[in-house]
Every structure is written in C-alpha cells, then in structure tokens.
Amino acid sequence: MLDFTLIRSGAQSFADLVRGLSVDDLHRLTDEMVDLVLNITAAASDQDVRFEYSDPEAPADVSPTSSAPGWTLGHVVAHMTAGSEETAALSSSLARSVPTQGRARHEVPWETIRNMAQLRQRIEESRRMRHAFLNTWPDESNLELTTVVAPRFGPLNAIACFVLGLFHEDAHLEQLREVLRQALAARGA
C-alpha cells in the first residue's frame, strides 16, 4: 500500500509519490486496496450493508429517505469504487495518448447494494474493471500527457491519475470501518 500521509499534508506531490511506479505496480496496488476493502467488510451481514451510520459531519440531505445523516456500507463502497474506476479510465486514455476533458465517472446506484453478495460483487467487479483499464495501456505508454482531475493536485500523468483513485479510496477507509463498527454495535455483535 502507498502511504498518502505526505500527500494529505501537502509535503509531497503526486509526481513524487508515483515516481518509479510501473503498470505492474498499479495492478498490485489495486489488488492490495481491493483486498483491504474486502477484509474490512468481511464481518458485515446483509443487515449491516443497509445500516445508516451516524455521521455528524455528513450533509443532512444524503438521502431523501434517510433517517440518519450518514452513509451505508453500500453507499461508501459504491462511491469508493466509482472514483477508482474513473481515474483508471482516464489513465487509460492518457497512457494511449488520448487527451481527456471533464469527468468519466459512473457511480452504481448505492441503493441497489442491499446485501453482502451484492457488496462483494461490486468490489470484485471494480477490481476486474480497473485491471482491464490497466491492460489497455500500450507497452510504451505515454507518461508525458497530463490531465487535471482535481485542481489542488495539478496536472497528473497516467500513473498519477490512476493513483489518485487509490488515494480517494484510502481517504474513505476509516469511514468504511466506522460504518461497520456502528452497524456491529447496533446489532450487538
């Protein structure tokens, strides 16, 4: 796993973090992240997938039907995976010398993730999709072409763009753990 601490503090750029990483490293880092998400959620039940945790910092309008200002495990996983798939898609374009503009994001409707089988399926589907995007990179990938996905990070080449998705997922790991902690406590597990 990459350590994103210096990125979060602003002491390191994405370019510095990803220097020396290869496509093989991105495949490995993808598996590490997906396996970690699967491990974090392994103790969850079908009921836990739909549990809305209490998050005082969440916006009140997370869901019009929500009674708690928080997300479900399904919502967090749908959001996390969408971000990594988006940056994987963009990185594929960059690596193939195709300039990118705008977003390339699709988030599976989180309300459709209602049980553990669906949660695991979404996580594994995302793993497959990210590996597939990496497999579109040519042997001689363009690492000079850049795009700006998030202005605060500046221009990102194909490798940095892909890693931005992992950074986003990493930022939601504690939220995922907290949703599960509260769900397990609510059912006395």
- Secondary structure (DSSP) of the chain: ----HHHHHTSS-HHHHHTT--HHHHHHHHHHHHHHHHHHHTT--HHHHH-----TTS-TTS-TT-SSSS--HHHHHHHHHHHHHHHHHHHHHHHTT----S-------GGG--SHHHHHHHHHHHHHHHHHHHHTS-TT---S--B-SSGGG--B-HHHHHHHHHHHHHHTHHHHHHHHHHHHHHTT-
What pLDDT is attached to residue 82? Answer: 96
pLDDT (0 to 100) of residue 64: 43
What's the pLDDT score for residue 69? 53
What are the pLDDT digits (tens) for 156-167?
Answer: 999 999 999 999
Q: What pLDDT score does 57 carry? A: 65
Report pLDDT for 140.
Answer: 96
> pTM for this one?
0.91
Give the pLDDT band of residue 14 (cuts 50, 70, 90): confident
Q: CATH classification of 20-186 is 1.20.120.450, yes or no?
A: yes
Q: Domain ranges in the chain?
A: 20-186
Q: What is the pLDDT at residue 106? A: 87
pLDDT tens digits for range 74-133: 999 999 999 999 999 999 999 999 998 877 888 899 999 999 999 999 999 999 999 999
- For 30-74, the pLDDT digits (tens) are 999 999 999 999 999 999 999 988 877 655 444 444 444 568 999
